[in-house]
């Protein structure tokens, strides 16, 4: 799966400005600090990691979001400010105080976000020195620069837009995300920021975001590790002259569908850029007793190192997939009802190897840079889809050398 630079087709969002600067928080010679300015009156929704060792900025962002309408988001790359105790909380709050003093707002109107190495003190002096530069660079055209600045082990930026027509007016939704490793979200994922120029009540915006992350960011995994810093934010700036305030309206349904589509595409881009990944694998589980069961089977397959390394080698070792289904913890699984496919190649039928299956056909599928593993359980009507990637030599190398 080649890591080619994508064509970043995106649109600015009225009422949202972004600026980036090189603060040398960890990296030399590149931007690693981003400030996002939100229009007065903007609504902000967010979901955060459920990791018990959540990072200090996650704690502070949750607190501030519960009591204030944010005007600024501050994002640094290279240092997670996680596992840093009271000093980390102080640094996260000092980040907010620094920006508030520069812009004349309250610290509670600033949300901090960090990504990078866990357990190292955040160099707040460097962040404070870089903040004025990022503010000077604020622009509605700053999305691409920001998307590159928040990258860590990512090889390509993730940035996309959607437009929607509401009568004579057009609304825009733009989103950026970063993530390549430590990906198994449990709320939203890594760091993702979406914004639109519609006006929407915060409660409805929160509902829209939570509906979007479950089948998108919460349905991907690269290595099964939920980060300490995961956060996903959706902002409605209100600067476009379009108001959506009725949850049962057609306008809300269309907007929510567009947000979901954007999240799905960003999630797919994250998996495609998985650390060392060469293949994108879609795992589709059908005829489960309920959606939770379908997801359990999908993630069991996706987290199997044996399945992932077989995919890297293009080895149709279907016994590994079968074994993963069998250990997913399904009560009273009738293996006679289980069927498994690689794309359209049936490899397992009635709980055993399909009579017409050939290794050559399986190998042809697994040699593709994108393919599907489909599992039919024969237990009900529920289904779920999980996206993952293969496990290559480079994944081990990237993570072994991450701090060197």
* Nearest C-alpha neighbor of 180 from the set 212, 146, 223: 223
Distances (CA, A) of 317 to 47, 155, 277, 362: 38, 30, 19, 9
Q: Is 19 within 8 Å of 35 (Cβ atoms)?
A: yes
34 neighbors 134 (Cβ within 8 angstroms): yes
Active-site residue set:
189
Rounded Cα gap, residues 86 and 107, in angstroms = 18
Report helix, strand or coil for 363: helix
Treating both helix axes as pointing N-terminal to C-terminal, what angle do 318-326 and 291-302 enclose, rounded to 10 degrees?
140
94: exposed, middle or buried (Cβ count in 10 Å: 0-12, 13-18, 19+):
middle
Q: Characterize 112-148 residue by residue with b for buried, 16 or more Cβ atoms within 10 angstroms of its Cβ, and e for exposed.
A: bbbbbbbebebbbebbbebbebbbebbeeebbebbbb
Q: Which of 42, 260, 268, 79 is nearest to 158 (CA)?
A: 268
d(CA 307, CA 271): 16
Integer Cα distance of 237 and 40 in angstroms: 8
Secondary structure class of 346 (helix, strand, coil): strand
Q: How far is the C-alpha of 236 from the C-alpha of 38, rounded, in Å?
A: 9
User: Are 389 and 3 a contacting pair, CB within 8 Å?
Assistant: no
């Amino acid at each position: 799966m080649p890591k080619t630079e994508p064509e970043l087709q995106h649109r600015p969002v009225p009422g949202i400005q972004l600026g980036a600067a090189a603060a040398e928080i960890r990296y030399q010679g590149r931007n690693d600090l981003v400030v996002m300015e939100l229009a007065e009156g903007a609504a902000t929704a967010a979901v955060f990691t459920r990791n018990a060792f959540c990072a200090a900025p996650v704690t502070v962002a949750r607190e501030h979001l519960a009591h204030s309408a944010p005007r600024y988001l501050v994002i640094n790359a290279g240092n997670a400010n996680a596992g840093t105790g009271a000093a980390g909380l102080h640094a996260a709050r000092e980040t907010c105080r620094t920006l508030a003093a520069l812009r004349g707002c309250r610290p509670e109107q600033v949300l901090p976000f960090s990504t990078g190495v866990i357990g190292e003190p955040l160099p707040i002096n460097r962040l404070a020195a870089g903040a004025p530069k990022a503010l000077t660079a604020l622009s509605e055209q700053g999305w691409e620069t920001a998307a590159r600045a928040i990258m860590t082990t990512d090889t390509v930026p993730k940035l996309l837009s959607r437009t929607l027509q509401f009568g004579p007016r057009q609304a825009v939704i733009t989103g950026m995300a970063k993530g390549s490793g430590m990906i198994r979200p449990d709320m939203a994922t890594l760091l993702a920021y979406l914004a639109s120029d519609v006006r929407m009540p915060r409660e409805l915006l929160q509902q829209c975001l939570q509906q979007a992350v479950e089948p998108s960011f919460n349905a991907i995994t690269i290595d099964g590790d939920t980060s300490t810093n995961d956060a996903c934010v959706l902002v409605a700036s209100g600067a476009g002259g379009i108001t959506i305030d009725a949850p049962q309206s057609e306008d809300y349904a269309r907007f929510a569908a567009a947000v979901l589509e954007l999240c799905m595409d960003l999630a797919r881009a994250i998996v495609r850029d998985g650390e060392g990944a060469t293949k994108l694998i879609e795992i589709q589980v059908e005829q489960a007793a309920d959606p939770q069961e379908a997801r359990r089977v999908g993630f069991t397959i996706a987290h199997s190192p044996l399945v992932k390394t077989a995919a890297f080698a293009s080895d149709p070792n279907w016994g590994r997939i079968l074994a993963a289904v069998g250990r997913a913890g399904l009560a009273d699984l009738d293996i006679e009802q289980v069927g498994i496919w690689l794309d359209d190649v049936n490899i397992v039928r009635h709980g055993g190897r399909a009579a017409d299956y050939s290794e050559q056909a399986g190998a042809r599928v697994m040699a593709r840079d994108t393919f599907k593993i489909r599992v039919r359980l024969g237990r009900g009507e529920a289904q779920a889809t999980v996206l993952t990637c293969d496990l290559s030599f480079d994944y081990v190398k990237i993570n072994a050398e991450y701090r060197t």
